């Protein structure tokens, strides 16, 4: 069954003029996107706890029950055992806990740091195309022609929050965490940035929508640029401070690193920032290397013209993101933390030459193929 094509959301709303319509549509999209993102953050934490429990032969969260749903005969206890309501309890807890500010901190920066960590991780989502079309709207917040530059610009802001937290806490473990994170994130940003350049050389555009269009029908860039993908993947782990690269936090060495002195909602903001970062990194990887919302069969590579097709594309995109989230989570319980010098060695002495070589080889390959095809070394 096909729903009638071109159901338009714009047709249902009053007319606000062209700028007004754009603003209203964007606000609606922002609200939906933030809602989905925050829900995913909350449930990523639950999945993390459950997966870690299963890997360690444990049960994981299985206590939180809702009054009415909990008493449905089979389903209620099952959902409770699954820990479905745990994120609600976690959220309520972070609001109700005492928000303690130690006496020795630099207050202004101490208050600023969690916000500065959280905001960039949310901003990055703006350029990611999370679906094709739905209700006559393009499923991307900002269809920027410099999408990836914007992303890297915003992502590099993320380090400031952590460095600032380390500095503002004014005690030794957070300070060490801050130092480590600045070194680590700056090092890996370079490999990360260099690793995606071959992608854009192949695509010929910095617009992420164009990147997805290029990958239609299964020409996924992960198969064309496996080295770039692997470097990007590892760098994403380092950028999001996940194990095996969680130097800035490293609970066992630094007590908690940059967030040692934080409690209550301020800590929760760091925590949400970390998971939001993971989600945006996953979304970036899906967009750049795994075809975004496309699938190579059943004509799912073309932009949707129906409501069902639009929802299906969003579903495909979310499924791919969730697969990467599970990878992120699984690796945390799989690999031990790198030593600091190993981390630096990997970033500077392995990945940097590797990405440069990859860049060079791709350039030569493109030059040879375009010359062979058109007799002209420059693509038009």
Partner 1 sequence: MIVKREKLNFWERLYAPAVLGGFKVTWHHFARTVFRSGPVTMEYPEQKWVVPPGYRGAPYLVKDQAGRTKCVSCQLCEFVCPPKAIRITPPGASGAPGAGNVEKGPAEFEINMLRCIFCGFCQEVCPEEAIFLQQDYSLTGTSRAEMIYNKEKLLALGGTHQDKIQKWKHKAEEAQAQDVFPVPPAA
Residues near partner 1 (CB under 8 A):
51, 53-59, 62, 330, 333-335
CB 377, CB 371: distance < 8 Å: yes
Cα 146 to Cα 154: distance, rounded to the nearest angstrom: 12
Residue 51 C-beta: closest distance to partner 1, Å: 7
10 Å CB burial of residue 121 (0-12, 13-18, 19+) is: buried
Asked if 81 and 54 count as a contact pair (C-beta separation under 8 A), the reply is: no
Task: Report the alpha-carbon distance of residue 127 to residue 147 in Å, rounded.
Answer: 6
- 285 phi and psi, to 5 degrees? -65, -40
**If you ran DSSP here, which 8-state letter would residue 14 be given?**
P
Q: How far is the CB of 59 from partner 1 (least distance, A)?
A: 5
Q: Which segments of the chain does DSSP mark as H helices, in order?
A: 9-12, 17-55, 75-82, 86-96, 107-123, 147-169, 172-203, 208-214, 221-224, 226-239, 251-254, 264-289, 307-332, 340-344, 352-374
Cβ proximity to partner 1: between 53 and 146 the closer is 53
- Which is nearer to partner 1, 57 or 98 (by Cβ)? 57
Taking the complex as a whole, the smallest distance from the CB of residue 323 to partner 1 amounts, in Å, to 15
Which residue number, 104 or 350, has a Cβ lying nearer to partner 1?
350
Token pair listed for 36: 């989905």
Closest approach, Cβ 124 to partner 1, in A, equals 27
Radius of gyration of the chain (CA): 22
* Least gap, CB of 53 to partner 1 (angstroms): 7
In the complex, what is the shortest distance from the CB of residue 277 to partner 1, in angstroms, rounded to a whole number? Answer: 22
Residue 59 or 363: the one with the smaller Cβ distance to partner 1 is: 59
For partner 1, the closer of residues 81 and 106 by Cβ is 81
In degrees and rounded to multiples of 5, residue 204 shows phi and psi of 85, 20
Helix (H, G, I), strand (E, B) or coil at 64: coil
Q: Which is nearer to partner 1, 54 or 95 (CB)?
A: 54
DSSP 374: H
Nearer to partner 1, 48 or 261 (CB): 48
Reading the block at residue 259, the tokens are: 């967030």
Q: How far is the CB of 242 from partner 1 (least distance, A)?
A: 14
């Amino acid at each position: 069954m096909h729903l009638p094509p071109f159901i338009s959301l714009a047709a249902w709303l009053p007319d606000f003029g062209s700028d007004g319509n754009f603003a209203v549509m964007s606000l609606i999209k922002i609200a939906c996107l933030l809602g989905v993102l925050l829900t995913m953050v909350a449930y990523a934490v639950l999945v993390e706890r459950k997966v870690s429990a299963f890997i360690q032969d444990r049960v994981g969260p299985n206590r939180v029950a809702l009054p009415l749903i909990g008493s449905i005969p089979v389903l209620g206890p099952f959902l409770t055992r699954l820990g479905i309501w745990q994120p609600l309890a976690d959220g309520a807890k972070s609001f109700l806990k005492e928000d303690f500010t130690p006496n020795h901190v630099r207050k202004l920066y101490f208050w600023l740091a969690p916000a500065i960590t959280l905001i960039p991780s949310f901003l990055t989502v703006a350029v990611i195309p999370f679906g094709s079309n739905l209700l006559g709207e393009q499923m991307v917040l900002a269809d920027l022609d410099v999408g990836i530059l914007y992303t890297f610009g915003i992502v590099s802001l993320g380090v400031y929050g952590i460095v600032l937290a380390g500095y503002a806490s004014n005690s030794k473990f957070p300070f060490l965490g801050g130092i480590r994170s600045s070194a680590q994130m700056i090092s890996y940003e370079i490999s990360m940035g260099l690793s995606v350049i071959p992608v854009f050389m192949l695509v010929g555009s910095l617009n992420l929508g164009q990147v997805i269009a290029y990958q239609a029908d299964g020409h996924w860039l992960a198969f064309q640029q496996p080295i770039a993908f692997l470097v990007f993947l590892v760098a994403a782990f380092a950028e999001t401070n996940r194990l095996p690269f969680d130097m800035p936090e490293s609970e066992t060495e630094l007590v908690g690193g940059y967030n040692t002195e934080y409690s209550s909602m301020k800590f929760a903001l760091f925590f949400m920032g970390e998971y939001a970062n993971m989600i945006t990194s996953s979304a970036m990887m899906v967009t750049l290397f795994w075809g975004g919302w496309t699938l190579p069969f059943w004509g799912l590579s073309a932009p949707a013209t129906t409501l069902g097709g639009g929802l299906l594309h969003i579903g495909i995109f979310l499924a791919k993101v969730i697969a990467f989230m599970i990878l992120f989570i699984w690796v945390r319980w799989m690999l031990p933390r790198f030593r600091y010098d190993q981390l630096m060695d990997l970033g500077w002495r392995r990945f940097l030459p590797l990405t440069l070589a990859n860049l060079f080889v791709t350039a030569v390959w493109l030059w040879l193929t375009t010359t062979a095809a058109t007799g002209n070394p420059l693509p038009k």
